[in-house]
Amino acid sequence: MLDLFLDPGFWAALFSVDSILTVVGMTDIYLVMAGSVIISVALMLIFAAPIAKFMRENPDFEILGLFVLLLIGFVLFLEGGHVAGMTVNGGEFPYIPQWITIFILLLMFSVDLYQNWLERKRDKAPVVLRRRKK
């Protein structure tokens, strides 16, 4: 049972089902609901194995994905509180502009890609050590 919760494919399927339910809740048109469910399930079946294989080979992207989910959840929480007019300690919830969120996401992805590139470069060309001349 614990292996199921540790499998990245399980979490990808869970978030995909969550996305399907979100789309179904956004419309009253039956054909749009049915079509979105059929298309999303087909895409999940097609891409589940390649994405799971990629995640097994590159575990650092799994951590990056978790940070992306954390960031998006935090931004949605703050935006929801701001739109609802909620207050905390006498002050209103802060509004985070969308460009800041996009900038943070791009920065996270670029740092991760740079680290992967640097790691591959180090693996190809190890440092040559030389002895001192006396």
pLDDT at 1 over 60: no
Give the integer Cα–Cα distance in Å for 111 and 68. 13
Domain boundaries, the chain: 1-57, 58-134
- What's the pLDDT tens digit per position in 31-75? 877 787 788 778 877 887 888 888 788 777 778 888 888 888 888
CB 45 within 8 Å of CB 69: no
- What's the pLDDT tens digit per position in 80-123? 888 888 888 888 878 888 888 889 889 988 888 888 777 777 77
Q: What pLDDT is stored for residue 3 in this prediction?
A: 61
Residue the block writes with tokens 């999940």:
44
Q: What is the pTM of this model?
A: 0.57
